[in-house]
Amino acid sequence: MADTRLIQGRYRLLDLIGRGGMGEVWRARDESLGRHVAVKCLKPHGPHHDPDFTRVLRERFRREARVAAALSHRGVTVVHDFGESDGVHYLVMELLEGRNLSQLLEDNKRHPLPVGDVVDIAGQVADALDYTHRQGIVHRDLKPANIMRLTDGTVKICDFGIARLGHDIGFTSRLTGTGIAMGTPHYMSPEQISGIEVDQRSDLYSLGCVLYEIATGAPPFDLDDAWAILVGHRDTPPTPPRSHRAELPEYIETIILDLLAKQPGQRPHDAREVSRRIATGRTSPAYVPTVVTPGPQPRPAEPESRAPLLPSWTRGMTTGHKATGAVLRTTPHDASAGLTAEWTARPAAGPVPPPDAVTALAGRHHEGLRLGRLGRWAEAGDVHREVAAERAKLLGPDHPDTLASRYEIAFTLGRTGRAADALREYTDVARERSRVLGADHADTLAARQEMAYVLGQLGRHFDAHQVYTSVLAARERTVGPDHPDTLRCRHNLAFNLSRLGRLDDSYRMARDVAAARARVLGPDHPDTLVTRYEVAYALGQLGRREEALRIYREVVEARARTLGPDHADTLAARYEVGISLGRLGRSADALTLYRDLIDDRTRVHGPAHPETLRARHGLGVNLGRLGRWEEALTESRDVCALREQALGPDHPDTLVSRREVAVGLGWLGRWADALAEYRRVAAARERVLGPDHPDTLASRNDEAHCLEQLGRGAEAVELYRRVAVLRQQRASGGH
């Protein structure tokens, strides 16, 4: 190619910028249009090469040209032209200024990319795949080297060299039959490895591999031997990314692990679902209103005095695992009791298992529970998997004790961020328990209730609502309306109603559950307090701020008594008190509260902890409300910088802080600087959430207001008009 400097009399080759298995890529100038382009040339082969091999390469190259030229999306490289010149096949593409993900990792010394970049790249690639898949195209070689991040932050998928159209099966088989590697081992899906027909879900698996690598610094199966890599993809569960990098958001880890499911049917349905889950994770609040960690056990002196208030079935109760998102447990089996009476009362279908072996397994089961209580979830999962396998051999796969171990496996999967895997395990356990124990058995209902909880974690709130409603009816029928299991189900149903937008229903149900728990468990029981917290949250959402403030304060006092003043749940309720004070116009009181809270958060969690920064953000907001704008601006800038460093530039918390910087600049009359910040927020939200998302539109309105203050009325009016049109389109589209 060095002697052939002009292609088709039009494209002048200037610099070699890349070389791969299929050819070379040159920076070139389009002499006709006077623009720089990239030209990919199929590498010529000498006469000693197998002509069939060369023919297939050329066929594949022509296919890339035809496939790529048909695509038009900001996340896919634009193809301008293709053809053959003097025996050389060429493809003319836009010249991209940026680095591919593999280069970015090398630039970063193989350290993972910033969290914000990982999330941004994940969202953009998912959007591009959604487009290409809807055109019937499977890429089949998605890897870091084939994904470019441009200097302006845009991410593009490149190189459709082995892509196939969904309807073109014959061509796929002909290419595969040549023995040419159809993909790159580190990023190949199990079905590619097995040589079976692939569809769009294969690309989703490869996307999971790419995201795993940029999030942790290494692909999921980082082995030297290609065969070992392929076996890993086929047979080995990947290590959860957060075990390598704890600050990675849990929802991103969940998405990655779901993408890496071995079976295509267990992965997300399509790239659009992946994109939606990323957008939801970036903007949705955590499960804060229902999160409380287990509190202390009742004091020894209390049971006698409280005993008349409690039904007998409350003895030995925990402090409410379900309120924490933890496992809902019935009374644990006594390790010395061996098999459950319900099961052993049936006629024996085979030899009775040795009691010593059963007791030993029960002891190991409880060891797994102990590891879980210590937060060592991965180790707990390993123990439960081993015990489940041995119980299946000894007692049978559908024995209640075997299913109890599988239930614990599901719980550990949920705690390690593998919600989709947990859902599958809970679903299997619920089905088997229903068959073996009956649909209304407490253990069956426990598994179904956990299914509902995980559905909520996955954003499937309507599905969760249906399961919760069914479980609640069964619990009320079998154990009554005041049983703790019934109340726990009603509490979770109330929370889920708020996520469905049914705020009045959510408030009424939470209020009733709080009253019932206070009556049955006592007013200071952690389960009672977590439901009262939910009541206050619902009241705040309904605009009933005074009532919300009163309840939050009562929850703070009760939690300080029962959990301690430095407990995370006590501090969380204090933060909500500050929110309520600020929204009621009592900013001086809020300021005092936030200063104390920042001191306590810093002492307990450290100065850069997200919750410490959340309290500092609240402080800055209330400084502004008091007209102390110089101080507010300084505080907002500090918090914004720390959040950007810890969470990434496009994280919702970072953008909220950046907007607060812009607000401060505006109040200080520095409108040109404010406009620049507002535009940064609007551009980031548009990139992450889309142009018609309510947060994006609010940011564009901020931008228009700023333009008005600068005397640029015509631009402001045009921007207001665009926002109005987008809002109308969103409303008419039923979003």
Residues contributing to the annotated binding site: 40
Token pair, residue 341, equals 């009476």
Alpha-carbon span 576 to 550, nearest angstrom: 11
Phi, psi (5° rounding) for residue 183?
135, 175
Token pair, residue 230, equals 């392929």
Task: Kindly report the number of other CB atoms within 10 A of residue 318's CB atom.
Answer: 18
CA quadruple 260, 263, 269, 271: dihedral positive or negative? positive
Residues in the chain: 735
Going by C-alpha positions, the residue among 270, 266, 250 that lies closest to residue 258 is 266
Identify the helix (H) or strand (E) that includes residue 207: helix 200-216
Alpha-carbon span 682 to 662, nearest angstrom: 12
3-state secondary structure of 409: helix
DSSP 72: -
CA quadruple 358, 360, 366, 371: dihedral positive or negative? negative
The residue annotated as part of the active site, out of 117, 141, 421, 650, is 141
Phi, psi (5° rounding) for residue 80?
-90, -35
DSSP 619: H
Residues at the binding site for ATP are: 40
**Distances 137 to 78, 161, 167, 581 between C-alpha atoms, Å:** 15, 12, 9, 54
Alpha-carbon span 443 to 460, nearest angstrom: 23
Examine the residue annotation and report whether 141 is marked as an active-site residue of this protein.
yes
Q: Give the position of tokens 């396998």.
A: 389
Q: Give the orientation angle of helix 652-667 with respect to helix 629-647, to 10 degrees.
A: 160
Going by C-alpha positions, the residue among 558, 482, 494, 547 that lies closest to residue 520 is 482
Which residues are marked as active site? 141
